[in-house]
């Protein structure tokens, strides 16, 4: 029978840097403190903000991305993961209408697709009544987007807040409250590993923001203005296993502080094809017994001495690959399979030496963007995000795929294959495709 959410909304912003993630963390924690079950979502391909969501809510976040997935699949994800919960909170990406093609792929696109209202976050820094035309524009630019209300961030004082509230009243948009300027609530740099100490500090941060929101934001009114719609669970298809042409009884997935960039639905699909077991390249001494190994991305560059000193695990990985074991390695996982990584400290750290490549953090610069990966007659979609660079050490190692960006322009990102090992920088999404088809011998 249909399940009705008590509330569902998307937290968007006028611009990047307005405080979406900070506000989302605080609201997630505040709602949980009220005893509500809350399911977080994240617009776009980001792997880091969902970790903040999980720390604040105790529930793993789900990516909603209209480049990685079809509209039907995005709706399926939303319906699937909101079953049985009280509130669904989706954090937007960049500004409300910023997408990979005008507003295509934007937060507005997702809000329209799912028919959920938007709570607009507006920074009050260095502005007062002039927010009125800005809010008016966001309300009227696209009337298919329902702006449920505005929450201001970085508000200097109660007087400042009253002026901002008047601006909302004059353009007919509810002001739900504000978050005052507070010391010590900045999120860490996005290029930092979530160590156990960082997780503890972020949990404490979520509590501090939640307390401030309870004081300055009308959360009851927010929930009232964003009452959820019904999803008919009978129309939701179950998660389907992927067809395989080789035995897949157990699937070993790297998961620790160094390797943790995964999409929730990817892992759920894997779990329908074989039993998932997790291992740590940092602390475990060998691979678990498995028919398939998944090395996702993460932050190996912050743990190079530990990874390099765990010689028994490196040897276990090397032997598994040499014996024909199938491995998918993405980004940081690919770096782990390299001969060595030149660290940020200028030291070369030996790795598993499964692939004749070397990685370097020297001259760090960000590479990112959507990727369409064409391999034979199959097309996968994914996202590239890294600061490192890779150099092949063997001229015979060529890419088995052609990759293009969201506009169809070819990019030099490679997808390597050596034996049954496939590795590349792109984080693949296989919610609607069959990952195991990549290992078809005809594609080599």
Q: Which residues are catalytic?
A: 331
Q: How far is CA 261 from the centre of its chain?
A: 8
Rounded to 5 degrees, what are φ and ψ at 282? -80, -40
Look up residue 187 and give its two tokens.
Answer: 């999120």
The residue to which tokens 């990985």 are assigned: 317
DSSP structure string for 355-373: SSEEEE-TT---EEEEEEE
* Angstrom distance (rounded) from CA 431 to CA 433: 6
> Which residues have CB under 8 Å from 103's CB, separation 6+?
97, 109, 142
* Angstrom distance (rounded) from CA 80 to CA 233: 8
Alpha helices by DSSP H, 70-218: 71-82, 107-114, 131-141, 158-171, 196-216
> Which residues have CB under 8 Å from 175's CB, separation 6+?
149, 150, 152, 164, 165, 168, 169
DSSP structure string for 122-144: EE-TT-STTHHHHHHHHHHH-TT
Signed CA dihedral, 300, 302, 308, 312: sign only: negative
The residue to which tokens 């190692």 are assigned: 397
Q: Exposure of 186 by Cβ count < 10 A (0-12 exposed, 13-18 middle, 19+ buried)?
A: exposed
The C-alpha torsion from 57 through 58 and 59 to 63, rounded to 10°, is: 60
Signed CA dihedral, 313, 317, 322, 325: sign only: positive
Cα angle value 171/172/175 (rounded, 5°): 100
Gyration radius of the chain over CA positions:
23
Q: Using N-to-C axis directions, what is the helix angle for 20-33 and 196-216, rounded to 10°? A: 80
């Amino acid at each position: 029978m249909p399940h009705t959410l008590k509330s569902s909304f998307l937290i968007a912003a006028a611009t990047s840097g307005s405080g979406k993630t900070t506000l989302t963390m605080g609201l997630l924690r505040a709602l949980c403190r009220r005893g509500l079950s809350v399911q977080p979502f994240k617009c776009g391909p980001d792997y880091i903000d969902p970790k903040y969501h999980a720390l604040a809510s105790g529930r793993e976040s789900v990516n909603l991305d209209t480049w990685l997935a079809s509209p039907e699949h995005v709706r399926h994800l939303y319906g699937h993961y909101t079953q049985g919960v009280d509130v669904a909170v989706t954090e937007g990406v960049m500004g409300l209408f910023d997408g990979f093609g005008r507003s295509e792929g934007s937060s507005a696109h997702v809000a329209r697709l799912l028919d959920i209202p938007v709570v607009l976050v507006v920074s009050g820094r260095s502005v007062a009544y002039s927010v009125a035309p800005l809010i008016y524009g966001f309300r009227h630019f696209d009337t298919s987007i329902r702006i449920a209300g505005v929450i201001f961030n970085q508000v200097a004082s109660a007087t400042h807040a009253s002026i901002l509230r008047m601006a909302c009243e004059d353009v007919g948009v509810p002001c739900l409250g504000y978050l005052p300027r507070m010391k010590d609530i900045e999120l860490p740099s996005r290029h930092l590993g979530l160590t156990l100490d960082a997780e503890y500090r972020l949990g404490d941060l979520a509590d501090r923001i939640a307390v401030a929101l309870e004081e300055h934001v009308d959360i009851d009114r927010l929930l009232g203005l964003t009452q959820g719609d019904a999803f008919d669970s009978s129309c939701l298809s179950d998660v389907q296993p992927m067809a395989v042409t080789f035995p897949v009884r157990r699937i070993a997935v790297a998961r620790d502080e160094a390797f943790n960039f995964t999409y929730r639905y990817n892992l759920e699909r894997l779990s329908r094809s074989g039993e998932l077991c997790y291992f740590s390249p940092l602390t475990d001494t060998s691979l678990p017994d498995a028919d398939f190994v998944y090395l996702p991305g993460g932050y190996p560059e912050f743990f190079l001495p530990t990874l390099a000193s765990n010689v028994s695990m490196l040897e276990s990985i090397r032997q598994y690959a040499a014996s024909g074991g199938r491995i998918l390695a993405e980004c940081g996982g690919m770096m782990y399979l390299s001969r060595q990584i030149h660290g940020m400290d200028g030291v070369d750290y030996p790795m598993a030496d499964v692939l004749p490549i070397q990685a370097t953090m020297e001259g760090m610069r960000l590479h990112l963007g959507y990727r369409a990966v064409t391999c034979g007659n199959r097309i996968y979609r994914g996202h590239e995000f890294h600061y490192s660079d890779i150099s092949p050490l063997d001229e015979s190692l060529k890419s088995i795929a052609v990759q293009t960006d969201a506009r169809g322009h070819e990019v030099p990102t490679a997808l390597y294959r050596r034996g049954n090992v496939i590795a590349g920088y792109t984080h693949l999404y296989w919610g609607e495709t069959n990952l195991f088809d990549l290992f078809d011998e005809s594609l080599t």
